[in-house]
Amino acid sequence: MDKTEVLERMAPILNTQVREVEHNPRTRVVVTPDMITFRPGGGARTLEMTKDGAQSLSSFVGLPWNVATKLRPETFGTVSTELLRRKGRYSLIIKDGSVVSLDKPQEYHMVNPERALRAIESGLPNIEFHRVLLLDNFVVCLEVVGDRRQPVNQGDLIQAGANITFSPLGTVDPMVQSYILRLACTNGMTSNTVLREFQFNGGDDGGSGGSGGGDTIWQWFRSSVREAYGSLDRIVCQYRQMVDQHIAPEDRATILEAMLKEAGITGKYADTIRALAIQSPPENSYDMINLISYASSHIIENPHQVRRAQLAVANHTNHSEHSRVCPACHHSLN
């Protein structure tokens, strides 16, 4: 996909804004049987709250939602207003004119998505935007690949790329991780291998960031993506070592179940992976991670579940985490 398509897929987040509010005596939460509205006070217009916004409000002020729903509407409004008064200052997350979330006041370092995509393109040669995942907290997880490829073994090519996580609203610090696209089938299989992370920890668009070496955030994007892309040799080396980590037949089911649990893959999705493991038994650690990465690209559709499965593969690739769940390494399961 191209930049235009990426931005179109980000639309649910791009149509959202952050507004910081200073509570004052005229601020009110008004609850009726049909609607919850928020009046910031000071002459500001009343904002409708979505159900998610109401639940976020309840959580933010420390009022359990199961308790809030049992209160009379006017009581819920009065209690919420008073508890918000004690907060003093807070941020409203607004989408399509309605409050969808409340949060504590913080430094939102918003990231211009178009400029971020241009910086990423300049850091990675012959870039292809592979997939966009929209996560909680208005976070975008963007998978990109270049044209560099290497074989793990005969007939098994992997393609180098980068996984970029950021929020146009600035709710999280941007992060870049090494990323691999496996070309063993027509759709490819993804594996988010955490060899190194790059985090931007401060400043505004022109500020400097922790791992950015004093560069602006845009230079940080360019250099971080370039370095993640350049980690292909190290990843290939790791994967080849995993090919040599043979798994005894009696240990395969135990390891697979541990990985399914860590990846949060359950129900029919887990049954599909188990069936694949029976059809083509994973003989080594590399085969095992490919079963989970297969789920993240071919079976699971929910973005949060995809991301969790990717991180489970990354953890298993990491030596200490791999040892924690792998009986073949003579460590007990937790």
Q: Can you give the pLDDT of all 334 residues of the chain as single tens digits?
A: 999 999 999 998 988 888 888 888 889 999 998 899 998 876 668 899 999 999 999 999 999 999 999 999 999 999 999 999 999 889 898 988 899 999 887 666 788 999 999 999 999 878 999 999 999 888 999 999 999 999 998 889 999 999 999 999 888 888 898 899 998 876 667 777 765 556 655 444 433 333 444 458 899 899 999 999 998 998 999 899 999 999 999 999 999 999 999 999 999 999 999 999 999 999 999 999 999 999 999 999 999 999 999 988 888 776 555 555 554 554 443 4
The predicted structure's pLDDT at residue 16: 87
At residue 218, the 3 state secondary structure works out as helix
The predicted structure's pLDDT at residue 206: 38
- Which residue from 94, 36, 29, 24 is spatially nearest to 61, judged by alpha carbons? 29
Rounded Cα gap, residues 168 and 189, in angstroms: 27
At residue 2, the 3 state secondary structure works out as coil
- Which residue from 311, 314, 331, 315 is spatially nearest to 323, judged by alpha carbons? 331
The predicted structure's pLDDT at residue 210: 38
